[in-house]
Structure 1
Amino acid sequence: MPSSIFAPDTARPTFCRLVGRATFATLIGALALPHDAPAAEAPLTLARARQLAIERNRALAAQDYAASALRDMAVAAGQLPDPVLKLGVDNLPLSGGDRFSLGGDFMTMRRVGVTQEITRADKRRLRAGRFEREAEKSLAEKGAAAAAIERDTALAWLERYYAQAMATAIAEQGAQAALEIQAAEGAYRGGRGSRSDLLAARGALVLIEDRASDAKRRVRAANTMLARWIGPAADLPLADETGTGTIHLDRTALDTELAHHPQVAVLAKREEVALAEAQLARANKTADWSVELAYQQRGPGYANMISFGVSIPLQWDQKNRQDRELSARLATVEQARAEREEALRAHVAETRAMIDEWDNGHERIGRYRREALPLARERTAAALAAYRGGRAGLADVLAARRGEVEVRIQALQLEADMARLWAQLNFLLPDEGLRARPAATMNGSVR
């Protein structure tokens, strides 16, 4: 747990340190995780948890399957349409002596033929390219999903880490309260204390026990959420190092960096798909021809025949059909481009605000470490010294102790909030991009 928050109290009396060991161990055991992790297992680091979540998640495999399916569709779309086999009988008599005869009348013919639509190569290329762009969009969606999984896993890991830290702080507070009850009982029996001091100490312990119960629930809930991402590995003990002291974003180049934001990348691929559809609509303004070849067999006394022909669609109303379709596709391209640009602006503004909040939070954490926590410890030490000298009551010591613990818990809560903000900032971009970028220190300068 963070040593800056849980620094030892040098003013604690010797008898408190001796008597409090058993009580402290008991409370820590009560706040432990519901599942005991094997002692031989290495602690679970944040990086390992993210890796496990990526390996375990099935949504990423689903995106791979989708991309594979679209690439197969691209290959199919690049081929000529299947030829059409035609079978039939022409000019079959319905009356007279040759009624229903296949060879009696010279006009009756049994026909077999084949028709082939000749789709131009550039149009087939555009059809294949559209599916390729769809496949690329699916992979971009996979990148966005992977970044979200890493972020949510990091948030779950940090939630459990700080829930356990909070539980430890409350357990230490409970140990102190138990020791203060023993001191109050000794003082009361020796005639140096009052019954009200004893009741106050017992009342403080009851409140701490209630707080400890809630802390235990938070630890279990955090462990459940972590298990949702990494499975049974969530029962492992966590490593002590969070690595949340730096962010990997350069605030002077957010417009450039966030152009690679997974959600922006998905919108960019959507724009490419819309552009491919517009190019295909433009190509459709030139109709595809079909060719047909048929062999016709007549009766024994007549010559067989062969026929061939060409079919050409007549686009007689292009301004209301093909031109309208092209106009709609071009409008869709502009819509996709506008959505991408607006999403980028929103992400840049949101990220700037988050970085400012992160800087301010670490400034406050430094103030807690330099000033608030030392002052709270000094106040507790002064109250203890006055109590031992008979110049203050136990209530003053209890108030000082509660104040010190509250300051420590507030500092810990602030650290937890900044850690969550760190996770949101550090996983805005894909991990591969982060490794190639310099890390920024707490004040935003680039190392």
Structure 2
Amino acid sequence: MFLRAVAMAAAVLPVLASAEPLSFDQALSLAVQRSEAARAGRAAITSANESARAAGQLPDPTLRAGVDNLPATGADRFSTTRDSMTMKRVGISQEWLSADKRAAREGAARAMADREAVQSATAEADARLQVALSYVNAWYAGEALKLTIQTEHHLHEEFEAARARLAAATGASPQVLQLTAARGMAEDESDDARQLQSAAAVNLQRWVGFTPESLSPPPVFVIPPEDDFLARSPSVAGLQRDLEVARRAAAVAAKERTPNWTWDVSYGQRSGYSDMVSVGVSIPLPVAPSQRQDRETAAKLALVEKAEAELAEATRAATADYRALASDAARLQQRVDRYRVAVLVPAQQRIAATLASYRSNQTPLSTLFEARHAEVEAQRRLLALQRDLARAQAQLTFKPLAQGGAQ
């Protein structure tokens, strides 16, 4: 626990000390380090590995001690030395498992350890996915706030210009009233954007442990191919391990059809007579294997079939999930490209043309401000599309297990 705290502090302190923006990779690392689910998964791996090491061992031998033929009545009652038949005995017995049976049990335990490893990797993948989505939301919320503040600033400039033009007039003109209402709406939009940014920052803090002053732009996410996505899908990888566990359990059940023998040896001591050594073996008799052992094996084989069906269903679901996300990402990319060319670029060109016309006294100032507002709104809409695109790409990138997590 102490070493874990030191590691997290080492990751956080450089960011806090230098006041540098929190990077996306730093957020991923902090989320995995702070994830209690991931820590629980690592503990489960340790437990399963220890159990697997013990599964292949023989059972502990049993120490046996006692007194045989002790008189219970008469003058010699409860005496261990007067009657020649009384014998003090000490011995040891050992249940014997064949090498094949021990190997089958160890294989089943190893399969469970592999399943725990996948579950731990799944917890880490979920931490990375959640912090990635939180990071994207927080960064785009910050960018949206900048745009609303820019709109508020433009409206303030327009309001002051209109009020200066009408300073000598009595009363309030409709233009000033309209600008007053528009400025109030812009201020409310800024407050709403601040609220969204605050909520996004709190959600990000849940994963990284502190509220960063600023964030670096998210990276360009590399979308994996479908086969790779399926191979590293948490649900598919987990059910593959469940299937292996079921198969190993069926193999153990099949081996249990052969009973375990128990060997024992004991040494008996008598008074005045020769000591004795006893050797024996206990062999369970499977009198009705078709009603017991075979049914146990059949039950385990049914669980294998169940695991196979669940794996097939999970594969279909993961395939549909990938294709839906990939389709959303492709369509959003097309919309972003089209919106940038068809809406944002003309809005920027409109500002340039309106500014030139304003400088030549051919266009009023209100027209220039209107062009600015239209360009800011286009940027906000484009920002929302880019955020949705980044979220879809992040899900495609971070839903699967990390490289090697499904091995």
TM-score normalised by the shorter chain: which range applies?
Answer: 0.7 to 0.9
Q: Which residue of 2 aligns with 1:321?
A: 292
How far is 1:392 from its partner? Answer: 7.8
Number of residues of Structure 1 aligned to a counterpart in Structure 2: 390
The one-letter amino acid of 1:279's match is A
Q: Which residue of 1 aligns with 2:223?
A: 248
- Superposition TM-score, scaled by structure 2 size: 0.87
Query: 1:87 and 2:65 equivalent?
Result: yes
Unaligned runs of 5+ in 2: 1-14
Distance 1:86 1:175 in 2: 91
Provide, for residues 223-265 of structure 1, a one-character-per-residue CA deviation record: whole Å limited to 9, x for no partner.
2222222223x4142224x223x53323xxx246412323311
Q: Which residue of 1 aligns with 2:238?
A: 266
Distance 1:123 1:185 in 2: 93
The one-letter amino acid of 2:247's match is L
User: Which of 87, 91, 100 is the aligned partner of 2:78?
Assistant: 100
Q: Which residue of 2 aligns with 1:184?
A: 162
Unaligned runs of 5+ in 1: 1-36, 435-447
Q: Which residue of 1 aligns with 2:387?
A: 416
Does the aligned pair in 2 maintain the 1:53–1:150 contact within 8 Å? yes
Does the aligned pair in 2 maintain the 1:187–1:193 contact within 8 Å? no
**Structure-to-structure mapping, 1:58-77, within 5 angstroms:** 58-77=36-55
Query: 1:352 and 2:323 equivalent?
Result: yes
The one-letter amino acid of 1:101's match is S
How far is 1:344 from its partner? Answer: 1.4
The one-letter amino acid of 2:390's match is A
Provide, for residues 391-420 of structure 1, a one-character-per-residue CA deviation record: whole Å limited to 9, x for no partner.
8895x7776655443332221111111111
Query: 1:114 and 2:86 equivalent?
Result: no
Does the aligned pair in 2 maintain the 1:298–1:304 contact within 8 Å? yes
User: Which of 197, 214, 233 is the aligned partner of 2:175?
Assistant: 197
Does the aligned pair in 1 maintain the 2:22–2:212 contact within 8 Å? no
Distance 2:167 2:238 in 1: 74
Q: Which residue of 2 aligns with 1:28?
A: none
Change (3 A) 1:38 1:148: closer
Report which stretch shifted further, 259-268 or 408-417: 259-268
Change (3 A) 1:391 1:40: closer
RMSD: 2.9
Q: Which residue of 2 aligns with 1:152?
A: 130
Q: Which residue of 1 aligns with 2:254?
A: 282
Change (3 A) 1:150 1:77: same
Distance 2:45 2:18 in 1: 41
Change (3 A) 1:80 1:227: same
SS at match of 1:265: helix
Q: Which residue of 2 aligns with 1:131?
A: 109
Change (3 A) 1:382 1:262: same
How far is 1:65 from its partner? Answer: 2.5
Distance 1:50 1:263 in 2: 21
Q: Which residue of 2 aligns with 1:9?
A: none
**Structure-to-structure mapping, 1:303-318, within 5 angstroms:** 303-318=274-289
The one-letter amino acid of 1:237's match is S
SS at match of 1:189: coil
Report which stretch shifted further, 67-76 or 269-278: 67-76
How far is 1:281 from its partner? Answer: 0.4
